[in-house]
Structure 1
Amino acid sequence: MTTVLDRAVPPAARLARDRRRWAWGLTAVVLTAAALAGAGLFSGSVLNPGGSAQFGRFATAALRPELDPGFLSVVAGSALVTVAYAVLGGGLALVLGAVGAALVSRRTWGRRRSGWLAARGLLAVPRGLHEAVWGLLLVNVLGLDPWVGVLAIAVPYGAVTATVFADLLDEVPGGGYEALRAAGAGRGTAALYGLLPSAAGGLLSYSFYRLECAVRSAVVLGLIGAGGLGYQLALSFTSLRWEQVWTTVYALGLLCLLADVGGRAVRRRVAAPPSPGPGRDPVLTTAVGIVVALVAWSLWFLALSPAALVSARAREQLSYVASAAWPPSTQRSLLADVAATAVDTLAMSVVAVVVATAGALLLAGLAARSPGAGPVRRAGGALVRLVLLLLRAVPPPVWALVLLFVLLPGVLPGALALGVYTLGVLGRLVGEAVEEADRRPREALRAAGASAAGAWLYGAVPALTGPVLALALHRWEVAIRDTVLVGLLGAGGIGVLLSARISAFDWPAVATVLGAIVVLSFAVDVVAERARAALR
């Protein structure tokens, strides 16, 4: 169908755009086929028949979780640790992001494009490394201090938040900013009074989304020994106590549900038209008050001491690690291992995103809330959303260990584990995109006698293709970092190599592997951005 916007574009430009889209589509098909082949799907048997019994015991334990009061008390205490890490890590990330946004905004740099590119490039390093990697590095500097969990979330999230905040500030009208600059105000003051009020809604909405993500990151850090529900989950899984595993999973799901509901309420309130009456919005005021109270409680609960960051031991360890890691190793054997594991990492991320995108498209219609739906449809939708919540509540390494019951070791279990986890996230995002899409084409087809499936296929899917592919490309950028997490716990990819080098305290090799991870993440970011531009 030709839209008004399409008719406004010259035929030559439309042809060039269509050719770019076909080129990107063909590239995606070739890359997916190569990734599936690299994961071993076409090279022989991938099933492990001997693990089916253990998988059955794991699955049936979901119906009888451990409800012993003593264990429930342990889980409750672990949940408090997870919440404290998430609140402080996410809160500090927002502070770092707000400060960093002023440094990487296009308006701050004006026409000095080289300075802007250099500032954005600096953020590629902290956001290119997964929070679990930061946790392992910080443990070697700070030891088992609570600051490890907080900073491991704050550093990469702060870099991501700075980029997003800067983009939001660049999108708002700049008339007020330019007027203040012309009146002699500094760049910071002009941004504070000329840009911030217009971007406040988007900034607040994204801030609460980041706090939701911080809960899942705090769980991940528990898997590498930082405490909390992730640590308890790892202990129960290692001892094959499946009932305890499921109790912990349900606790994770409850935390994620609370974060999702709270964040969703705030984002809806921000998106709603402003109230004509005077005064503050009670929902937003209450939400901000709760966050402030949680920050104060978390500081008390974790007993953080700023002195730990500048102690003599921390300075000595930082100096030792930095000097030992420079210069990075250039051994041929290491570079060959880096190249091989980087290819595996790329294959894992592609398979994960393809699996997640296909699953999200299949479940999107049910995951979306449908106004006026009957009780059966509402119950089915609630069940699908609950399943998606549990999929994203459980960290990818745990899904990899579960899949190793029925799959042979290799890249495929790690890729499918990431796919399951990413499906939980992408399914929710695509469901929300369906809720926000125009329903009139579907309703017109239904009124004309089309079936529900036909109305969905012809009335909804074409309009959702662009947004869904854009979301999938964004999740690919995230998945390339999550593959490192899966690898750190032995499920394949470059994370395996990084874990081995850190365990051997081979710091020059660690520096080389970290550099490769940053370059790989940056390359995927660039490719994904180019692909999104071709879809516009």
Structure 2
Amino acid sequence: MNNSKKFIHLYSKSLLSLGLLLIFILSLFSINWEDKLIHSGGKATLAQISRAIFSPDFSGEILHLSFISTWRTLVYAVAGISLAIIIAFIFGVLSSGILFKNKTTKKIFMHIFRRILGFMRSIHELIWAWLFVAALGLTPFSAIFALAIPYGGTLGRIFSDMLKDVSNKPIEALDSSGASNFQILFYGYLPMVKLDMISYTMYRFECAVRSSAIMSFIGLGGLGYQIQLSLADLAYNEVWTFIFFLVSLVIFIDLWSNILRNILIKDNNKSSIFGLNFKKLSFLLILTLLISSWWFIFKIEGADIFSFFSEKNYYYTKKFLSELIGIGRDDIAYLNLFHWKNALVLTLQTLNMSILAIGFSTIGMLITVIPVARNISDGSLGRTAKWYNRILFSIIRFIYIFSRAVPELIWAMIVIFVFKPGILPGAIALALHNFGILGKLSAEAIEGIDARPIKNLSTSGANSPEQLFYGIIPDIMKKFITYIIYRWEVILRTTIIVGFVGAGGLGHQFKLSMSYFHYTEITLILVCYILLVWFADILSDKMREIIK
């Protein structure tokens, strides 16, 4: 019976792998490869952009502008993630159901708040930004709330799952001693999930910095805004200067979060940098960033929180929501069959773009991931270490970091200078960003495998390709597929924003509808977008069940 179950599980996993490969191959037919996909001057533009990477503009004026823009990008990221943490904690606790002992009440609260969190994170932060600007105007809070809502939804879902997975024994002990629900939360649940919460929040903060950079698309300053202006002026040397600053900021946060996470996991209070305790230094840095960021927003940017509750804002928000619903209008797009047909075609294009993107990034990962795994590079996984291993390791690791540090929209801005508008440049831009993330996750999966079976293959005379195909790949295939499915979900949520720069799909139509004030079309596009994301969530859950 056990052998039968193993066979069925192996068969299902193999069938899923073949199915995913077939879907990617079919998605390639959505591109008309016979057409000229590259602009007439696309190759020359690509050469100019490539050459400019080796000669960024480090003039005093550009460096000064880069530092200011970097600070503004960081400020919005800090403000947005700080609000997101508050939202995530409240909604995460309520959706976990741990505060309720009555089963019916618990079930109702869990269902309501999990649906709210799902809705919050299903819409991309740039879409939220467009909606806030349309309703409330161009204020710093449009960007901050646009970051806080989807990140609050994502963090809240993770916090909820962490709290639900806590061991019952310590909680039952506190409950039997007469502790209240809030005492159980703060003295039982939170101490056991605190490290995981901090670790994941730091990762999301790194993502928030990238998201903050693309808030420039709604008119707010920052590194993304400067990149956009420099691309419009064809000043590619300046473009790479601003991109290098963004990459450096992301790398700094990534290194800082990794060091802090390791210290917290090991409970090492003696770790120091420049003679200062790293945990205390991190706390002071976080506190300083919080205070200075909100001070900058209120004092320098002139943001006024009370303006949100003014009669003027109430009037414009009410008017915008009425326009979205179509009150008083005869030409309501979401009640028109022609608009629905057009929207469904665009939805299919968006789905194809996401499949192409995850396919391209997976191919890139498979080609590069082996030499970038640390235990393969140093020869500890059964392969003989070569002199060039460390060189390949360093080069590909840097490519991974650079690839994922640049947001998808900025990649799309660059790619669209070379390729004609359509889903192909959108897929390439998405793949360039996710290739680095997928490669990093997959390399870490290889670094975590048991080396003994691989060494046994090596001692029995297996060469490197045999060790790879009979030892390494079977061991990590489950994790590879899991990461691919996870990144596909993320890509699908992001496909809509690359459409803003001409990559096709729902995003391109969303931008056009916003520009022409066709608000009921926006409602229809958002409905299709949310349904597509929910479909992806259900499908990915089913696929993960197959490979468990």
TM-score (norm 2): 0.89
Cα distance in 2 for residues equivalent to 1:322 and 1:186: 42
* TM-aligned CA deviation for residue 229 of structure 1: 0.1
- 1:470 paired to 2:482: yes
Question: Which shifted more, 392-401 or 159-168?
Answer: 392-401
Q: How does 1:271-290 map to 2 (within 5 A)?
A: 271-272=265-266, 274-275=267-268, 282-290=277-285
- Contact map agreement 1:202 1:270 (CA 8 A) in 2: no
Q: How does 1:199-278 map to 2 (within 5 A)?
A: 199-272=193-266, 274-275=267-268
Count of aligned positions:
525
- Contact map agreement 1:101 1:163 (CA 8 A) in 2: yes
Q: How does 1:282-431 map to 2 (within 5 A)?
A: 282-303=277-298, 304-326=303-325, 329-370=334-375, 372=378, 376-431=388-443
Structure 1 residue aligned with 2:139: 145
- Contact map agreement 2:362 2:435 (CA 8 A) in 1: yes
Q: Deviations over 1:415-455 (max 9, x none)?
A: 11111111022112222222223233334434444444443
User: Secondary structure of the residue that 2:53 maps to in structure 1?
Assistant: helix
Letter in 2 for 1:349: S
Structure 2 residue aligned with 1:6: none
Cα distance in 1 for residues equivalent to 2:112 and 2:409: 35
Question: Which shifted more, 110-119 or 430-439?
Answer: 110-119
Q: CA RMSD in A?
A: 2.5
Letter in 1 for 2:308: L
Letter in 2 for 1:101: G
- Give percent identity, aligned residues only: 28
Letter in 2 for 1:102: V
* Match of residue 495, structure 2, among 483, 499, 512: 483
Provide closer, same or farther for how the CA distance between residues 39 and 287 of structure 1 changes in structure 2, counting only shifts above 3 A: farther
* TM-aligned CA deviation for residue 52 of structure 1: 0.8
- Contact map agreement 1:32 1:351 (CA 8 A) in 2: yes
- 1:54 paired to 2:45: yes
- Contact map agreement 2:228 2:413 (CA 8 A) in 1: no
Q: How does 1:488-507 map to 2 (within 5 A)?
A: 488-507=500-519
Cα distance in 1 for residues equivalent to 2:4 and 2:388: 50
Structure 2 residue aligned with 1:31: 23
User: Secondary structure of the residue that 1:38 maps to in structure 2?
Assistant: coil
Cα distance in 2 for residues equivalent to 1:199 and 1:168: 6
Provide closer, same or farther for how the CA distance between residues 116 and 451 of structure 1 changes in structure 2, counting only shifts above 3 A: same
Cα distance in 1 for residues equivalent to 2:83 and 2:478: 34
Structure 1 residue aligned with 2:382: none
* TM-aligned CA deviation for residue 23 of structure 1: 4.2
* TM-aligned CA deviation for residue 22 of structure 1: 4.2
Q: How does 1:125-164 map to 2 (within 5 A)?
A: 125-164=119-158
Structure 2 residue aligned with 1:67: 58
User: Secondary structure of the residue that 1:64 maps to in structure 2?
Assistant: coil
Structure 1 residue aligned with 2:329: none
Question: Which shifted more, 361-370 or 219-228?
Answer: 361-370
Provide closer, same or farther for how the CA distance between residues 405 and 498 of structure 1 changes in structure 2, counting only shifts above 3 A: closer
- Contact map agreement 1:36 1:351 (CA 8 A) in 2: yes
Cα distance in 1 for residues equivalent to 2:268 and 2:241: 43
Letter in 1 for 2:159: F
- Contact map agreement 1:388 1:427 (CA 8 A) in 2: yes
Q: How does 1:42-191 map to 2 (within 5 A)?
A: 44-48=35-39, 50-108=41-99, 111-112=103-104, 113-191=107-185
* TM-aligned CA deviation for residue 391 of structure 1: 1.4
Q: Deviations over 1:512-533 (max 9, x none)?
A: 2112211111110111111111
Cα distance in 2 for residues equivalent to 1:191 and 1:52: 59
Question: Which shifted more, 349-358 or 310-319?
Answer: 310-319
Provide closer, same or farther for how the CA distance between residues 92 and 469 of structure 1 changes in structure 2, counting only shifts above 3 A: same
Cα distance in 2 for residues equivalent to 1:408 and 1:490: 8
- Contact map agreement 1:90 1:157 (CA 8 A) in 2: yes
Gaps of 5+ in 2: 327-331, 380-384
Q: How does 1:502-521 map to 2 (within 5 A)?
A: 502-521=514-533
* TM-aligned CA deviation for residue 210 of structure 1: 0.9
Structure 2 residue aligned with 1:10: 2
- Contact map agreement 1:484 1:494 (CA 8 A) in 2: yes
Structure 2 residue aligned with 1:40: 32
* Match of residue 20, structure 1, among 7, 12, 23: 12
TM-score (norm 1): 0.91
Provide closer, same or farther for how the CA distance between residues 118 and 230 of structure 1 changes in structure 2, counting only shifts above 3 A: same
* TM-aligned CA deviation for residue 200 of structure 1: 1.1
Q: Deviations over 1:444-481 (max 9, x none)?
A: 43444444444334332221111111111111111011
* TM-aligned CA deviation for residue 134 of structure 1: 0.7
Letter in 1 for 2:90: V
- Contact map agreement 1:224 1:231 (CA 8 A) in 2: no
* TM-aligned CA deviation for residue 127 of structure 1: 0.7
Structure 2 residue aligned with 1:3: none
